Amino acid sequence: MRSNPRLTLLSDEDRSELTGVLTRVEAAQVALAAAEAEQTRALAEAGAFAARLAQGSSSVVRDRDMALRGVAAEIAAAVRLSDRSVQRQIDSSFALVNDYPATVHCLEKGLITRAHVAVVEDVGRRLPPEVKGEFDQLAAEICLDETPGRARADLEIIAERLHPRTLTERHAGAFRERKIVRYSLGEGMSELRSVHSTVLVEGIFQRVTEQANEVIASREPGSGDTRSLDEVRADLFADMLLTAVPSLDPTGCGDGAGGLGAIKAKVQVVIPVMALMGQSDVPCDLAGVGPIDADTARLLAGNSDGTWERLLTHPVTGLTMAVDQYRPTGAMVRFLKGRDKHCRWPGCRMPARTCEVDHNHDAALGGRTEICNLSCLCQRHHSMKQFTAWKVKQLDGGVIEWTSPTGRIYTDNPPGHGVHFSPEEDVPDDLWVKWTTFTGEFRILDEPVDDPHAPAPF
């Protein structure tokens, strides 16, 4: 496919027009954020006013609720909203202003969006009051550099590490609540819902998605099968639950088994080294999904069936230290997927396992096939790099620098450059680790071994 010159080489007139549009959008965003912050502060003040009205009452809780209803009704009538909706907004705003002042300040200055604030509020809701102040400071810092989607993944990990009870403890209790429930939707349809371990649910979803894509790819022209990806996934899901082996398998041949049954989920589990060694219960990361408890992560680290991809991370820097396999032709790809974890376009959360490994400086233009010139890009952003005027290069440390058609520069740091916590135990200055294929375990080494595959010290 040829590139369109109009898209890859903007004229000065085009660049000036695009710059003007960009300037207006930025100004509007700053003004909108400031207005939303002002509204949040005003609603919080309404909540404080209602609380003051109830002071000294013999039934403070009841009278505060009545006062809040009256204030909410006053505001609702003026702005033409329901009083229940306004009362919920007052409660939310009061909590935001008091629990997350740094986040609200960043919104007020136009440095983040209301979507960022919603993520901070949602993730922070599970934390006890005594740690919300620290969470607020860390959350505001992360939101300055990330989109709401990417920020959520980092904040989930931070919230788990700040919680006074470990995720391992809380998961043990929650796991006993696993269940399957069904709901009638009418018109002969029902919903089946499974509440289970995040790791297992993610594995199920990935496997059925891979199988559905295989079904769609193997369709014969004119077969009349026009099912969408969602429809095929639902059909395969029901079929496997009822028969254990998919019968809707167009890859089968005669009486032989088809290929869908051989498709397995591929899930990355990021494990801090001290958690892997059983010396810490810090939460681990199911890449692209969120935190999982250390017990589950350790169990998966010992699984050698090829389903779980184990990434061992440094306990201080958070950067990838080692992977569990070494293949000369695939080592670079495995390293890049471990380093990047997701597409390297700023803000994109597409998992690296579904991305393409791309030359930052095109190979056709002399770019070399080496780690410092490769990164993971999803199909959308790979195509954008190829067919538009956006330019990209890789800086030291795996930092990706994007230059927009108007000349603006945006940088994307590899995961692991955010906020990190000190390990719970002392970590040697020179830490060596090796995946031992024979015994199937990670070992911390006192000194390097004479092995070309042994990782460098940290």
Q: Average pLDDT of 121-146? A: 94
Alpha-carbon 261 to chain mean position? 29
112 shares a domain with 32: yes
Asked if 61 and 121 sit in the same domain, the reply is yes
Task: Report the length, in residues, of the chain.
Answer: 458
**Residue 152 pLDDT exceeds 80:** yes
The predicted structure's pLDDT at residue 377: 93
Q: How confident is the model at residue 42 (pLDDT cuts 50, 70, 90)?
A: very high
- In angstroms, the Cα distances linking 300 to 140, 168, 306 are 33, 14, 10
Mean pLDDT of the chain: 81
Measured torsion, CA atoms of residues 128, 133, 136, 138, in degrees rounded to the nearest 10: -110
Look at residue 144 in the predicted model and tell me its pLDDT. Answer: 93
User: pTM of the prediction?
Assistant: 0.69
pLDDT at 339: 85
Which of the 8 DSSP states describes residue 351? Answer: B
Has residue 308 been placed in a domain? no
Query: Hey, which bits of 200-314 come out as E strands?
Result: 267-272, 284-286, 290-292, 308-313
What pLDDT, on a 0 to 100 scale, did the predictor assign at position 62?
73
Q: What does the block give as tokens for 126?
A: 């599970």
Residue 322 has pLDDT above 80, yes or no: no
Residue pair 24/100 in contact (Cβ under 8 Å)? The answer is: no
* pLDDT for the residue numbered 138: 96
Q: What is the mean pLDDT of residues 251-277?
A: 70
Q: Which pLDDT score is estimated for 19? A: 94
- Give the residue, 194 or 368, on which the prediction is more confident: 194
Our count of domains for the chain comes to 2
Q: Specify the pLDDT at position 367.
A: 81
Which residue range forms the structural domain that includes residue 249?
197-262
What band does 441 get if pLDDT is binned at 50, 70 and 90? very low
Burial class (CB in 10 A: 0-12, 13-18, 19+), 61: exposed
Whether 191 and 185 have beta carbons less than 8 Å apart is answered as: yes
Tokens of 41: 């502060």
Burial classification of residue 337, based on how many CB atoms lie within 10 Å of its CB (0-12 exposed, 13-18 middle, 19 or more buried)? buried
Q: What is the pLDDT of residue 435?
A: 40
Q: Which residue has the higher pLDDT, 293 or 258?
A: 293
Can you give the pLDDT at residue 214?
93
Any idea which of 6-15, 367-376, 381-390, 448-457 has the lowest mean pLDDT? 448-457
Amino acid at 289: V
Together in a domain, 164 and 211: no
37: tokens are 């912050």
Domain boundary residue, one of 262, 278, 298: 262
Strand arrangement of the beta sheet that strand 284-286 belongs to: 290-292, 284-286, 267-272, 308-313, 320-323
How many CB atoms are located within 10 Å of the residue 157 CB?
Answer: 23
Query: Do 218 and 94 belong together in one domain?
Result: no
Whether residue 159 is found in the same domain as residue 237: no
Residues 213 and 162 reside in one and the same domain: no
142 and 216 assigned to the same domain? no
Instruction: Find, among 55, 99, 90, the residue nearest to 69 by Cα.
Output: 90
207: DSSP letter:
H
pLDDT of residue 456: 40
- Here the tokens at position 453 are 């595959």
Regarding whether 31 and 121 lie in a shared domain, the answer is yes
Assess if residue 59 is contained within a domain. Answer: yes
The pLDDT of residue 406 is 86
- 145 and 221 fall within a common domain: no
Q: Which of 212, 229, 262 is the last residue of a domain?
A: 262
For residues 142-154, give the mean pLDDT.
Answer: 92
